[in-house]
Amino acid sequence: MNKDNKLVSIFGSIEDPRSHINQLHNLVDILLIGIISVICGAETWKQMVEFAQSKEEFLKRFLELPNGIPSDDTINRVFSSIESSQFETCFLDWVNSISKLSKGQVIAIDGKTLRGAKSHGKKSPVHMVSAWADQNNLVLGQVRVNEKSNEITAIPILLETLFIEGNIITIDAMGTQTNIANKIIENGADYILAVKENQEQLLEDIKDEFRFSKNTETDINIDYGHGRIETRKCSVVSEFKFIDNSNTKWNKLSQVIKIESIREFKNSDKLPEKATRYYISSLKDKAINYQKNIRSHWGVENKLHWTLDVAFSEDASRKRNNNAAQNYSILLKIALNLLKNEKTEKQGIAGKRLKAGWNEAYLLKVLDIKV
């Protein structure tokens, strides 16, 4: 066992949920089989076993495997019974060990329902809130939303686990809450929070600021691509007449932002699409930077959620037992972080997964394991 490898040393600290008489296979071996097989394309417990059996001699170079490859029932039971909060804590420790988070970057926080976890037509009970560091291209952490709660209670818990000092936290309108703004400021970060009808009075005050302000800074960005032209005008107001920022309701609120976008379609009779979005921020920044930072927020959708669904088929996964869906979600994020941060192979996640499955030298490079 290569205990010098960060995957082995950190995830090997998870408490084994099995009784001693049922421990034919090392817990860390099972965890690493899960991680490695997912990197190489496995999507079910049975596929994990089939992959491990085909690579048993290779795996024995850095895993112990005292009784060979565990069965798919064993893998299922282990991932269903591991305490998810421990797994998430180890995931966070591992991310911190492999990366130095760039300061001043956007950390986008957003939720995703694991649709395949629903049963008998019922709403899925599994909804995860994740943090995505856009510049580092990393999932930083995740927490599960309690079934009788929502993202508003989960986001502060996630923020408390992250090292966000010096960074910019972006959240959609669900997370625009005073306690969340407070938590961000307390942890030494800044916020850009979307404002919609769930903060009705704040939204009206922001609209009034832009309606009557005589000192608005603007930036216009035009984006050509994919058969369309998108024009985005960003306006920023720093001196308020209608928003009372003298108290602590919105901690360190400094600026309000309006993004007006027009999307026109080339060679099409489709009418232009117009949208106006509003934000509050603790930053004192320029409109051109808000253009970039607000667009960076959508990396959590495009680079994380979309990739998990398209490249890893997360929404198709029907793992439901106990902690299985939550722990499998962590497995996918470990695999995604490893694949995204392997820089020598210039292709997408799907191609990297195929190459890792075919090429053992490349797989070791992805895992950062030396044998």
Helix (H) or strand (E) holding 332: helix 324-340
C-alpha 313/C-alpha 360 separation (Å) is: 24
Q: Determine the pLDDT at residue 107.
A: 96
pLDDT of residue 55: 96
| CA 347 and chain centroid, separation | 21
Q: Among candidates 351, 305, 355, 359, which has minimal Cα distance to 332? A: 305
Report d(CA 264, CA 228) in Å as an integer. Answer: 5
pLDDT, position 268: 79
Rounded to 5 degrees, what are φ and ψ at 34? -60, -50
Contact 129, 111 (CB under 8 A): yes
Residues of the chain with pLDDT under 50: 117-121
Amino acid (1-letter code) at residue 131: A
Position 21 scores a pLDDT of 72
pLDDT score, position 122: 54
138 SS3 class: strand
Instruction: Please tell me the predicted confidence (pLDDT) of residue 231.
Output: 94
Sheet containing strand 255-265, edge to edge, reads: 138-144, 127-133, 106-113, 168-171, 190-195, 273-281, 255-265, 228-237, 216-225
pLDDT computed for residue 132 by the predictor: 94
Residue appearing with tokens 């950190």: 10
Domains and CATH numbers, the chain: 6-82+341-367 (no CATH), 90-305 (3.90.350.10)
The 10s digit of each residue's pLDDT in 50-75 is: 999 999 999 999 999 999 999 999 99
**Which pLDDT value is given to residue 1?**
56
- For 49-93, give the DSSP string: HHHHHHTHHHHTTT---TTSSPPHHHHHHHHHHS-HHHHHHHHHH
Task: Please tell me the predicted confidence (pLDDT) of residue 244.
Answer: 77
Q: What is the DSSP letter of 101?
A: P
**How is 275-318 classified by DSSP, letter by letter?**
EEEEEEES----HHHHHHHHHHHTHIIIIIIHHHHHTT-GGG--
pLDDT at 120: 45
Q: Residue 297, Cβ neighbours under 10 Å: how many? A: 23
Comparing CA positions, the residue from 293, 269, 266 lying closest to residue 279 is 293
Amino acid 246 reads S
CA distance 305 to 302: 6
